[in-house]
Amino acid sequence: MAKKEKKSKLDAKDNGTRNIVIGMIILVIVVGAITAITKSRTNSHATAPSAVATSDGYGIEFNKSAPVKVDFYEDFQCPHCRDFEVVNNTYINGLVTAGKIHAVYHPMSFIGPESILTAAASACASDQGKFLEMHKALYQNQPATENDGTWTNAKLVQLGQSLGITSSAYDNCVNKGQYINWVNNVENYAGSQNINSTPTVLINGKTLPQGDYLDPVAFQAAFNAALKASRVK
Amino acid sequence: MKKFFTTQAQPWITLLARLILGGVLLAAGWIKAMTPTEAQSSVRVYQILPTGVANSFGLILPWLEIGIALLLVIGIWVKWSGFAGGALMLLFIVAISQAWARKLPINCGCFGNGGITADGKVHPWVYATEIMRDTGLVLCAAFLMRFPGGKFGLDDRKGS
């Protein structure tokens, strides 16, 4: 009789520990999920670079009145984005400087922390009128391995200076992470548009098919077709 | 032999199954919880849920996985946490199979991986290996539902 009583007391004690553990696990899940959801929210108060329109998914814009709008979703750490850049850079930059293309750049950051830093730095460079130069330089200096420590704020400040940026506003912008929240907004918008791979290029809202990214003739043909169509209208 | 299984081997196999299923879920959940935007994309690519729903699910799923994993590793409600883990794996198998059938690339990120390469070629092994791994985990889950009692689980300490 006494033995049985002792045993049930032990059970009760065990159940207490068990309940505490269960409670802790539930707490971890709930806090984790809620934090994830709140952190991922688009921050409407985020400071954005001057070339950005929230209506175009927080992208960095050139030539808003040009007839053909092209959205570029890319990640500065993505090797295929570099390949796309190598193949098409001269042509696209030519269109931008000639004012023939309404280009919207969406620097994504899903590859990791160094994608966030590079995307934010490209926005800082945009404020100095050096986005295209920075864009090119980031790909030219892309490390072979992702997130290997190549991109730090100090390196990005240096890179900007090597492109002829002299303003201390740029250094501050990079070092203070002025556009980190904006980078998150860009990523969120891309998510809401179901963008799942980089590079993804949309010409007047139409996705460039997968096989066309490394073929310079394909992009030029698609762009010219869109240009023609816009003239007919 | 049968007696050896029930008294000697089974509790250890249960422990092993708990650690395998729980370990995989914990690792997968943790990696995804640390890279939320990638986790969202990895739900979207299956193109089952509407984009908005997929994005929310992508944020919650890693924490569900971590929760189930902790229950399994610590050994609480093994029968039902095993069921939940197995159900998740079945869900993944269905998702991967339909992606395979629809020729959808399944790993997010740069194109060129995830079953379909830039030239549009389908690589069945990518889908098949994922399905085989998940099938193994479903077997672990089934074993746990049949034999929830094992070694070193919190629930194993009860004097029943």
pLDDT of residue B159: 45
To probe the interface with B, which of A183, A185, A196, A214 has the most B CB atoms within 10 Å? A196
pLDDT of residue A119: 96
Q: Which residues of B touch A (CB under 8 A)?
A: 33, 35-38, 40-41, 44-45, 51-52, 55-56, 59-60, 62-64, 66-67, 70-71, 74, 76, 105, 108-112, 116, 118-120, 154-155, 157-159
Length, in residues, of chain B: 160
Q: Looking at beta carbons, which residues of chain B come within 8 Å of A25?
A: 67, 70-71, 74, 76
- Residue A14 and residue A102 in one domain: no
- Residue A67 and residue A21 in one domain: no
- Residue A1 and residue A66 in one domain: no
The letter for the amino acid at B6 is T
Which residue matches tokens 């399994």? Answer: B72
CATH code of the domain in which A75 resides:
3.40.30.10
Residue of A nearest to B43 (CA): A196
Cβ within 8 Å, pair B66-A14: no
Cβ within 8 Å, pair A196-B45: yes
- Residue A123 and residue A191 in one domain: yes
- Residue A129 and residue A179 in one domain: yes
- Residue A9 and residue A61 in one domain: no
Is A187 a residue whose pLDDT tops 50?
Answer: yes
**Mean pLDDT of chain A, nearest integer:** 89
Which residue matches tokens 């994504």? Answer: A108
Domain boundaries, chain B: 2-150
* Domains: count for chain A: 2
Cβ within 8 Å, pair B109-A39: no
Residue A228, min C-alpha distance to chain B (Å): 28
- Residue A72 and residue A180 in one domain: yes
Residue B134, min C-alpha distance to chain A (Å): 23
- Residue A94 and residue A24 in one domain: no
Is B156 a residue whose pLDDT tops 90?
Answer: no
- Residue A197 and residue A143 in one domain: yes
Is A6 a residue whose pLDDT tops 60?
Answer: no
| Interatomic CA distance for residues B125 and B118, integer angstroms | 16
Tens digit of pLDDT for each residue in B97-144?
Answer: 998 888 887 764 444 446 666 556 677 888 888 899 999 999 999 999
Does A164 map to a domain?
yes
- Residue A29 and residue A130 in one domain: no
Does A47 map to a domain?
no
Expressed in angstroms, the distance from the first to the final Cα of chain A is 94
Q: Which residues pair with A202 in a beta bridge?
A: A71, A207
Cβ within 8 Å, pair B120-A28: no
Enclosing domain of residue A33: 1-40
Q: Which segment, A36-45, A128-137, B44-53, is predicted with the most confidence on average?
A: A128-137
pLDDT of residue A9: 55
Three-state DSSP at A163 gives: coil
Cβ–Cβ under 8 Å, residues A11 and A3: no
Instruction: Say which of A26, A78, A211 has its CB closest to residue B119.
Output: A211
Cβ within 8 Å, pair B63-A11: no
Tens digit of pLDDT for each residue in B36-53?
Answer: 888 888 888 888 999 989
Instruction: Say which of A21, A210, A214 has its CB closest to residue B76.
Output: A21
Cβ–Cβ under 8 Å, residues A163 and A124: no
- Residue A127 and residue A179 in one domain: yes
Cβ within 8 Å, pair B60-A33: yes
Cβ within 8 Å, pair B51-A194: yes
State the average pLDDT over residues A39-63: 85
Q: Looking at beta carbons, which residues of chain B come within 8 Å of A28?
A: 63, 66-67, 70
To probe the interface with A, which of B59, B80, B88 has the most A CB atoms within 10 Å? B59
The letter for the amino acid at B115 is G
Burial (CB < 10 A; 0-12, 13-18, 19+), residue A13, is: exposed
Does A153 map to a domain?
yes
- Residue A67 and residue A162 in one domain: yes
CA dihedral sign, ordered A47, A50, A52, A54: positive
Tens digit of pLDDT for each residue in B68-98?
Answer: 999 999 999 999 999 999 999 999 999 989 9
Is A1 a residue whose pLDDT tops 50?
Answer: no
For residue A49, which of A40, A39, A62 has the smallest C-alpha distance?
A: A62
Displacement of CA A2 from its chain's centroid (Å) = 68
Does A48 map to a domain?
no
Exposure of A26 in the CB half-sphere (CA atoms within 13 A): 7
Cβ within 8 Å, pair A211-B120: yes
Q: Looking at beta carbons, which residues of chain A come within 8 Å of B67?
A: 25-26, 28-29
